[in-house]
A and B are shown apart, each in its own frame.
Chain A
């Protein structure tokens, strides 16, 4: 597992960790059952607060991407076999999608430009996952 913290990134550090772990799961670099470092180990290695790492792990656990119990290493959870229901999708990404669409339109993108941008990003992710 590869992680880095970007001081220039306006997002909170825990969000950066969450996103990087998600990307690695999506790419297949991290597979279900793979162990992750302990909260302490990761916080020492990255030189960040223990609670920041713990918060990232809790977010990933709440999103059912990690499993961990007391005294056990955190592990990558089994990937869902069925796509999420539309209610789950709306709850998880609806608000952020709305923000993204608004942002894109304010930047002057047409609906087609935005669709192309999304398709390009999907193709890029597929390429990385190969």
Chain B
């Protein structure tokens, strides 16, 4: 499957150059002392030694992870844009990787000097981060706006409306059910907790409290497995989460004044996915950029993300009417 990027990849050039600079500087400084100091006290004195490649692997690994993450986030931002907006998320990889590369270069420089004292280079790191931020801002300003046509078709819901109306008038019990359970949330709920449990088990003998904390966070992430489910009955609208069906929202249909279709930009309007807040409303969504905005008689607003927003809005509107 070929992915067509809407967000240009050249905006990540500063991050890639910083990553290459860190690696190239290390290669030019070969051979490195073995064992090399790996950890330092606040005063810059080494207190742990190990392989000289450890820091290079960490710097390169974390940098690549950040670049991939940034590509994904930037693409998500670009696909949600209705017009050109400044994507502050795009600075994330450039600034952090420039800072990491600075630390790596100064560390290798210290190794080459044979004087193993390493006071953390705060000033240089801040200067490098600021420089990278400046270049990233210019590139972000240069980035052209490209319209993304959502593949989600607008559904014809006349038949559904007629069906729901008939059921409501007849007084029969009714349930409308839909789920948002994207692949990323399943990975997050299975793979990440497993990794965290492994890490917790290995760290148990050294730092037990950290192991417990990691294991608890892992278990909390596993609870997301099953995604978000919206259930509409004659009496209430409920949003539940995960395999345990933890209730996130319950609104009595008699308390609802209005249910309407709503388009939104997850990153820009809510800063991500999941259970979200902004000044206007509380939102529940794991994917997409459309949902149903519900306004209660008390004036509270809630947004339920949906893969079939027209269906959900039709069912809620018909039930509350």
Contacts and interface: CB of A to CB of B under 8 A. Distances in A.
Nearest to A6: B172
Contacts, number: 50
Contacts of A46: 173, 175
Given A2-B163, A4-B167, A45 B175 contact: yes
A3 B172 contact: no
Interface string A11-52: 000000000000000000000000111101110011100000
Given A38-B245, A41-B231, A45-B233, A1 B178 contact: yes
B177 A6 contact: no
What interface size band does chain A fall in? 10 to 19
B164 interface: yes
Interface in A71-118: 73
Contacts of A47: 173
Nearest to B180: A35
B102 to A, nearest CB: 47
A125 interface: no
Contacts of B245: 38, 40-41
A36 B178 CA distance: 8
B96 interface: no
Interface of A: 1-7, 35-38, 40-42, 45-47, 73, 128
Q: Which 10 A-B pairs have the closest CB atoms?
A: A45-B175, A4-B167, A4-B174, A4-B172, A37-B177, A2-B176, A1-B177, A35-B179, A3-B175, A5-B173
